[in-house]
A = this chain, B = another copy of it.
Amino acid sequence: MVEGRRHTLRDIAATLDLSVNTVSRALSGKDGIGARTRALVRAEAERVGYVPNTLARSLVLGSAMTFGLVITNPSNPFYAQLISGIEVRARAHGYSMLLAVTDESEEIEARAAESLLRSSVSGAIVVPVQGKVDPWRRLGGVGVPTVLINRDLPDLGYHFVGTDNEVGAYQATAHAIARGARSIVVLEEDLPITTIADRVAGFRRAMAEADLPVPRGSVISVPTRRYEEAALPWQPEQAYRVARRLLRRATLPDAVVVGNDYFALGLYRALHEQGLKVPGDMMVIGFGDYPFSEFLLPSLTTVRLPAQEVGSTAVDLLLEQIADGPGTEPRKQLIAPTLVTRDSTGPAIPRSRIPHT
């Protein structure tokens, strides 16, 4: 079946002795076509295995029915889920997805933006590296709807969907305090992004509300930026190194809130080596609720980030913007994360309740 080259509307038109336009309209379901003609065309299209050429279609329609997705790193489980969420929702509306990976590099990001521009994407969903703003300004300048994810660039006035990191960190910290922690430390990535600042703010708010001091050294930066093709266990490893230094302090914190669940892994190891118990000697709270976090020993209390929801919300914002045209007020949508309480902040619960299958 269907060997050789691709058949076009013209081929079908020629064999049926019709005009190209008639064939086009017959196939696309427009009216003004006789029932018998339409059936004939459909049958012939089926017979030769006709596949419409999206390039030509997009060229004349001015829209490629494609969304550009620009993320920093798919090996971050949050972004992996985000990809799924966006892809599913986009495809449901007939859009394909062009994916670009920036790996936190401004240079790659600029090229990716340029590439989306050339491809005439109908919209873009972007996790910006949060350095330069210009590449994305150009996209909006020519009328490409753009939604920023996770990290806002307020200067652009674009739509934004993210998780409420301030609240997430607040919840995490407040939870630790409720469980008895009085001295708490935060381990965060060393990226210059709003995410981090928001979380630190949430942490400080919770501490302030409990009248707890936040001495210097309470917020520790974990070096994780990397442009290389990536030894992947980089993040746990770096967190492990930082945690080892932390554990050499004279007085140890009661709880540590880490910037992502990979960091918790490194911290777990450092604690284990020192013979310190979680949560007995130190509570640990993660960020992300990665697929493995529930099954760590002890299972990790963590702030669940609604990746799928963020993704589908972003798609909805694009669709809305495409339908309503430009000029819509930029919407900043913060989706609240939820704290998932597990064993790393409380007594290990006997799992014997779990039903046998």
Contact = CB atoms under 8 A, between A and B. Distances in A.
Contacts of A2: 138, 141-142
Contacts of A163: none
A137 B3 CA distance: 10
A83 B56 contact: no
Contacts of A244: 354, 356-357
A233 B294 contact: yes
Contacts of A292: 233, 236, 262, 265, 290, 292
- Copies of this protein chain in the complex: 2
A112 to B, nearest CB: 8
B75 A80 contact: yes
B53 A120 contact: yes
Chain A, interface size category, equals 35 or more
Contacts of A100: 87, 91, 96-97
Nearest to A77: B75
Contact of A268 (B88, B268, B295): B295
B96 A115 contact: yes
A272 B297 contact: yes
A51 B141 contact: no
A326 to B, nearest CB: 11
Interface in A282-323: 290-292, 294-297, 308
Contact of A96 (B55, B98, B268): B98
Interface string A65-101: 0100100011101001101110110010000111111
A235 B73 CA distance: 22
Interface of A: 1-6, 49, 51-56, 58-59, 64, 66, 69, 73-75, 77, 80-81, 83-85, 87-88, 91, 96-101, 103, 108, 111, 114-115, 117-120, 137-138, 141-143, 229-230, 232-233, 235-237, 240-241, 244-245, 262, 265-266, 268-269, 272-273, 290-292, 294-297, 308, 351-352, 354, 356-357
Contacts of A245: 356-357
18 contacts: A2-B142, A55-B55, A55-B119, A55-B120, A66-B98, A74-B81, A80-B80, A83-B99, A84-B103, A96-B98, A97-B98, A232-B291, A233-B294, A245-B356, A245-B357, A262-B291, A265-B296, A269-B295
